[in-house]
Amino acid sequence: MKILIELPTWLGDTVMATPAIENIISHYNKPEITIVGSFVSIEVMKKHPLVFKAKVLKKNYISSYKIAKNLGKFDVYFSFRGSFRSRVIKLLISSKKKYQFDRNKYQNFHQVEKYNHFVNDCLNTNFIVGKLNINFNLNHKISLSKSAPILGINPGASYGNAKCWSVEEFAEVGAKLSTLYDIYIFGGPGDEALASDIEKLLVEKGVSNYLNLSGKTSISRLVEYISNLDLFITGDSGSMHLAASFQVPTVAIFGPTRDSETSQWMNSKSMIVKKKLDCQPCMKRTCPLMHHNCMNLIKAEDVLKAVNALN
């Protein structure tokens, strides 16, 4: 059985799709899988033992056309994306059966459940939703010292600056916890300025046991670092879902997005910090009211209380 899967675009969405993908694998009894998707999504999934081939789809239509036409023939095709470009790719794929996710069909569920409902509807099955599943061989501890536990802080978010918490508050939390933890500062491309600002504030507060990793890690290296964390403080981000897959104790800071849909899945060691304002969740990339109160009203002491509640 040969199966083609188009993965979600974003890191977090790809992680949240893993339970549904595992149910596809269970249904077809260890099929030969080809995956296509963004560079980030491919990096997350390419080490799965049943992935036979992986191809990055660029935004360029000509490139996508060539890749789609040259993939070969499949028994089943699943697309976890519903964009116009994905619908075009679906037309080009040679497969006996084709299924495509429609986000408008699945409302008021966690994103993990949405993907699983999609698979159940396609296969006429009733699979329950399992845990997030990242297939990486992780066999050694990465640490600044041999004894201190590791705190990861992640100030950025791909969705937009509305999801980002204050660097001053992040630094305050980091400084308060630096006597208990070594600190890793995370961030993807574009987050370097945020991470640099936090680093400067930590130095001003006399903190030296930190490592700024923002913009310096591959996806596979990021997975390895996060899997080794003892505590993670983050906004609603792809890295947050990676941490959930490893059951890392996490404090997640939510502002404009729906924690009911994108909170950590099946991580009993997770705490959510958010304000309950009339304007949230607005689901906007920038604050439409220009005050950003959903994040600005959250202070370091709120996050530190959540950390204490985890212990």
Q: 287-307 pLDDT, tens per residue?
A: 999 999 999 999 999 999 999
What is residue 211's three-state secondary structure?
Answer: strand
Mean per-residue pLDDT of the chain: 94
Predicted confidence (pLDDT) at residue 142 exceeds the cutoff of 80: no
Region 83-94: what's the mean pLDDT? 93
- Ranking 71-75, 160-164, 248-252, 268-272 by mean pLDDT, the lowest is 160-164
Predicted confidence (pLDDT) at residue 160 exceeds the cutoff of 70: no
Q: 113-124 pLDDT, tens per residue?
A: 999 999 999 999
Predicted confidence (pLDDT) at residue 161 exceeds the cutoff of 90: no
Which domains are present in the chain? 2-123 (3.40.50.2000), 150-310 (3.40.50.2000)
pLDDT of residue 143: 63
**What are the helix (H) ranges across 228-299?**
238-245, 259-262, 293-296
Confidence of residue 237 (pLDDT cuts 50, 70, 90): very high
| Residue among 216, 260, 251, 212 nearest 113 (CA) | 260
- Sequence-distant (6+) residues with CB within 8 A of 1 are 28, 29, 31, 32, 75, 76
CA dist 11 and 38 (Å) reads 9
pLDDT of residue 151: 97
pLDDT of residue 25: 96
Confidence of residue 48 (pLDDT cuts 50, 70, 90): very high
pLDDT of residue 69: 87
pLDDT of residue 3: 98
- Ranking 146-150, 190-194, 219-223, 283-287 by mean pLDDT, the lowest is 146-150
**What are the helix (H) ranges across the chain?**
11-28, 39-45, 61-69, 84-92, 111-123, 167-177, 192-204, 219-227, 238-245, 259-262, 293-296, 300-310
- Ranking 11-15, 75-79, 216-220 by mean pLDDT, the lowest is 216-220
What is residue 207's three-state secondary structure?
Answer: coil
Residue type, 25: I
Return the higher-pLDDT residue of 30 and 24.
24
The residue written with tokens 């569920």 in the block is 109
Predicted confidence (pLDDT) at residue 158 exceeds the cutoff of 70: no
- Sequence-distant (6+) residues with CB within 8 A of 95 are 4, 73, 74, 75, 76, 77
Q: 52-83 pLDDT, tens per residue?
A: 999 999 888 888 889 988 999 999 999 999 99
CA dist 95 and 90 (Å) reads 9
